[in-house]
Structure 1
Amino acid sequence: MWKTLGKTSLLRRLGPSLGIIGGVAIAFFTLVPAAWAFCGFYVAKADTSLYNQASQVIIARDGNRTVLTMANDYQGDVQDFALVVPVPVLLTEDQVNVGDPAIVERLDAFSAPRLVEYFDPDPCAPVYPMAPSMAPGSLTSQAARGAAADQSLGVTVEASFSVGEYDIVILSARESDGLETWLRQNDYQLPSGASGLLQPYIRQGMKFFVAKVNLEEFDRGGFQSLRPLQMAYESPRFMLPIRLGMVNAQQEQDLMVYLLTPSGQVEVTNYRTVKIPSEAEIPVFVKDEFSDFYRSMFQLSHQQENRSVAFLEYAWDMGWCDPCAANPLTPEELRQAGVFWIGSAQAQARTGLMPPPGNNVFITRLHVRYARDKFPEDLVFQETSNRENFQGRYILRHAFSGGAACEAAEAYRRSLPERFEREAQTLARLTGWDVSEIRRKLPAVETAPTPWWRRLWP
């Protein structure tokens, strides 16, 4: 992906114009999602706060038009920060913007794998026919840094400008050794091995987007952390460069990619796209250990899939959710995330699909865990017309705890040990946890027969 030089990484927001893409009409939402959803109460989510080394990218794409938003977990002295990103086209100042970190957080919260819970009804209560369920409705819910390039190194400064707290240069190069030398001469601290990773991008004719923090602007703005950077461009290449980000990685890193398109799910074409295990019923004590559960489950899934895969954690129409880990993004928030086609008749004609009520934005959340010895190629995507909804969803079923007294209640209580054991086995299979330790945390079950007189009075 991109690479941070010195320490780690960054973030930022879309302004009134999208550069080459321009402004668009905004669609509409209404209503607020209720706390109850027909498939359970939402109680917890597995967002990126679970991971120590996590990068986040938003890619909004329609046709060849792309808005790329980059957000990392940069920590440390901002004067040590620098970012190098291979980009397919030469960018101008009005194609680069500083975004709002809240937009990345909103997409993360909306699409995060989630925990839901049910509560068993009184087994003695009469059962009435259920009315047909209602279909879910739509919800609205600076002087340039760097001197002229040293032509002897084969490096050209194609553009230089400042955006917000960042000083940016756009470079082209003929040889990776020359580019590496130029970066070092201009105080970019590259780790060893960078030259070999730069060369494939040079062969493809890609440019290099290089950003440093302008300390005066950063201090003047009173920012507590770096904001995301956004780029708007047109290119037939639907890809994300990740190899350059591996050069200074000492351990595995997590990458979350939120892909926003008008048509449907996005898949990785050069690696397998695998759905994360989902729809599993697990013991109720996991409610207090959901973070540990999801980390363990993802790590085991990662190992079992031989590691070089992209996990699908969420795929859903942005107009609604069930259960909702967070409200769907508003049209204004979607615009800030880079969505430029909302309400576009052109997008509707291209897909041949009528958009759902509210908007025509489909979100795909992919989770990639990568290291230096894996993922020899950058991620290459393709948009599909598949609008099948999917989410990482994990279910808690609370047993009825009242003193019901009837034959159905006795049968219900006799069934609980088998159910709890099944949930324990599922949890052990998903996480690799010791099943004997899991059993010790299961609730006790009273299986003694109900005295006959309790059927007369509760």
Structure 2
Amino acid sequence: MLVSLQAGSLIAPAYACGCGAMVVNRNSQVAVDRETSAVGWDGRTEQIVMQLSVRGNAPDAAWIMPVPHRATVELGDAELFDELRAITAPVTEERHYFWPRDEDWPLGGSGNSAGDSAAGPKAGAPVDVVGRERLGPFDVARLAATDPEALESWLKENGFELPDRLATALRPYVEQKWEYVAVRLAPEQRGSTLSGTLDPLRLRFASDRLVYPMRLSKLAATPQSLDLYVLAGHRMEPRGAIGGRPPKVSFAGRVDPANEPYEALAAVTGDKPVFLTAIDQYFPSPERIDGDHELRATAEDTPYRTVVYRDTLLTWAGLPAWLLTLLGGAVAVASALLLVVRARRRRPVTPPPPVFTPPPLR
């Protein structure tokens, strides 16, 4: 299971978002504020539950996603993402420091301190429409293409405007004979603009490897952040950085959805326990992305959880420990000096020895 969270920026007419690309007409703009995708794989079948949060002035938009094999599409469960965020949330622990910092009294604070992403084609056409359906606010078309330019023409004829550079980005998938899911996004009320969090879509397709499509993200004009939540039999890791900074693990551990109140997750995993690995990665230069993410099992299933520390000034009875220590030390020194003085005052004075007068000389 992979979950990607990506923040977007205002786009016109195309934007790369995670495993797909968003397309609008040239007179419109749309921002993908967040893309959340959950991807599961059992060794034979891969499934992706994808949800978009968008805003802008576009009356509609198209989202294009490549898949290695023919996909089935249905509405997903939005509760899945809340459950995954709850499972992988960092643990907060409190730790104390002794000496005051800049925000503490008397250096500047008040004494309280705490550190604080269906119409068929014409005969002989290089694009085959393998299915088209209406799912809630989505108009979903599943395509098989042998030529990026032909795919672009078909999308334009059916209301999906495709920028020229996207055809080039799609070529590696065409060469691998991948298929595409094209989704028209439109507001529920006519005359309004596309905005808000859309219902999630759930895609399923055959796959002999765990892969997360990332090539289209190289079209992004701004840095990209990707969070991958992997649900598999073992702890997983990417095979490479694919042009980004080294991936980092933020969570790793075994999860049994049957023993927890995670109904949406249980529906995805079939009530089976899985090993969850959360991986974070940053792409400062998206144009350097050179492939898709492939994940493999690590040598050991080592658990890990991110810990967020809340730094707090050590206190005793509500008073800073350092102040009490200094006061206690001062009192101890003063007491010791007082005892020394008193001891000296009470000590008896020893009289001088008697003076011996020698006898007179004769």
Q: TM-score, normalised on structure 1? A: 0.55
Give the match for residue 354 of structure 2. none
- Cα offset, 1:319, TM superposition: 4.5
Structure 1 counterpart of 2:126, from 154, 176, 180: 154
Kindly indicate which of the two structures has a greater share of residues assigned to strand. Answer: 2
Give the match for residue 365 of structure 1. 278
Does 2:51 match 1:74? Answer: no
Query: Hey, what's the Cα distance between the residues in 1 that align with 2:123 and 2:153?
Result: 12
Change (3 A) 1:72 1:454: farther
4+ residue runs of structure 1 moved beyond 6 angstroms? Answer: none
Amino acid paired to 2:67: V
Give the match for residue 70 of structure 2. 90
Where does 1:231-270 land on structure 2 (aligned, <5 Å)?
231-247=203-219, 249-261=220-232, 263-270=233-240
Does 2:294 match 1:380? Answer: yes
- Cα offset, 1:190, TM superposition: 2.4
Amino acid paired to 1:61: W
Does 2:311 match 1:311? Answer: no
Q: TM-score, normalised on structure 2? A: 0.68
Change (3 A) 1:182 1:385: same
Amino acid paired to 2:297: E
Amino acid paired to 1:339: T
Does the 8 Å contact 1:243/1:378 carry over to 2?
A: yes
Deviations 1:146-184 (A, max 9, x none): x43255651111111222321111111111121122222
Change (3 A) 1:85 1:329: farther
Change (3 A) 1:404 1:365: closer
Query: SS of the residue aligned with 1:308?
Result: coil
Change (3 A) 1:307 1:60: closer
Change (3 A) 1:150 1:386: farther
Query: Hey, what's the Cα distance between the residues in 2 that align with 1:151 and 1:372?
Result: 39
Query: Hey, what's the Cα distance between the residues in 2 that align with 1:155 and 1:118?
Result: 61
Give the match for residue 451 of structure 1. 331
Where does 1:21-32 land on structure 2 (aligned, <5 Å)?
none
Query: SS of the residue aligned with 1:376?
Result: coil
Give the match for residue 200 of structure 2. 228
Query: Hey, what's the Cα distance between the residues in 2 that align with 1:454 and 1:334?
Result: 66
- Cα offset, 1:331, TM superposition: 4.4
Query: SS of the residue aligned with 1:84?
Result: strand
Deviations 1:338-363 (A, max 9, x none): 212x34xxxxxxxxxxxxxxxx2221
Does the 8 Å contact 1:9/1:83 carry over to 2?
A: no
Amino acid paired to 1:364: T
Does the 8 Å contact 2:127/2:146 carry over to 1?
A: yes
Query: Hey, what's the Cα distance between the residues in 1 that align with 2:134 and 2:38?
Result: 22
- Cα offset, 1:387, TM superposition: 2.3
- Cα offset, 1:117, TM superposition: 1.4
- Cα offset, 1:54, TM superposition: 4.2
Does the 8 Å contact 1:9/1:72 carry over to 2?
A: no
Does the 8 Å contact 2:160/2:184 carry over to 1?
A: no
- Cα offset, 1:196, TM superposition: 1.1
Amino acid paired to 2:230: L
- Cα offset, 1:312, TM superposition: 1.6
- Cα offset, 1:211, TM superposition: 0.9
Count of paired positions:
288
Query: SS of the residue aligned with 1:193?
Result: helix
Query: Hey, what's the Cα distance between the residues in 2 that align with 1:210 and 1:195?
Result: 14
For the aligned residue pairs, the C-alpha RMSD in angstroms reads 3.5
Change (3 A) 1:309 1:120: closer
Where does 1:394-409 land on structure 2 (aligned, <5 Å)?
394-402=308-316
Identify unmatched segments of 5+ residues in structure 2.
1-18, 99-117, 336-362
Deviations 1:122-147 (A, max 9, x none): xxxxxxxxxxxxxxxxxxxxxx4xx4
Query: SS of the residue aligned with 2:177?
Result: coil
Change (3 A) 1:332 1:102: closer
Query: Hey, what's the Cα distance between the residues in 2 that align with 1:69 and 1:77?
Result: 26
Kindly indicate which of the two structures has a greater share of residues assigned to helix. Answer: 1
Higher RCO (Cα < 8 Å, 6 or more apart): 1
Query: Hey, what's the Cα distance between the residues in 2 that align with 1:59 and 1:212?
Result: 21
Does the 8 Å contact 2:210/2:295 carry over to 1?
A: yes
- Cα offset, 1:255, TM superposition: 2.0
Amino acid paired to 2:254: D
- Cα offset, 1:56, TM superposition: 2.4
Give the match for residue 180 of structure 1. 152
- Cα offset, 1:454, TM superposition: 11
Does the 8 Å contact 2:39/2:48 carry over to 1?
A: yes
Give the match for residue 339 of structure 1. 269
Change (3 A) 1:307 1:157: closer
Give the match for residue 32 of structure 1. none
Change (3 A) 1:375 1:398: same
Query: Hey, what's the Cα distance between the residues in 2 that align with 1:216 and 1:72?
Result: 15
Query: Hey, what's the Cα distance between the residues in 1 that align with 2:31 and 2:202?
Result: 14
Query: Hey, what's the Cα distance between the residues in 1 that align with 2:325 and 2:55?
Result: 52
Query: Hey, what's the Cα distance between the residues in 2 that align with 1:363 and 1:231?
Result: 20
Query: Hey, what's the Cα distance between the residues in 2 that align with 1:450 and 1:307?
Result: 57
Change (3 A) 1:382 1:218: farther
Amino acid paired to 1:89: H
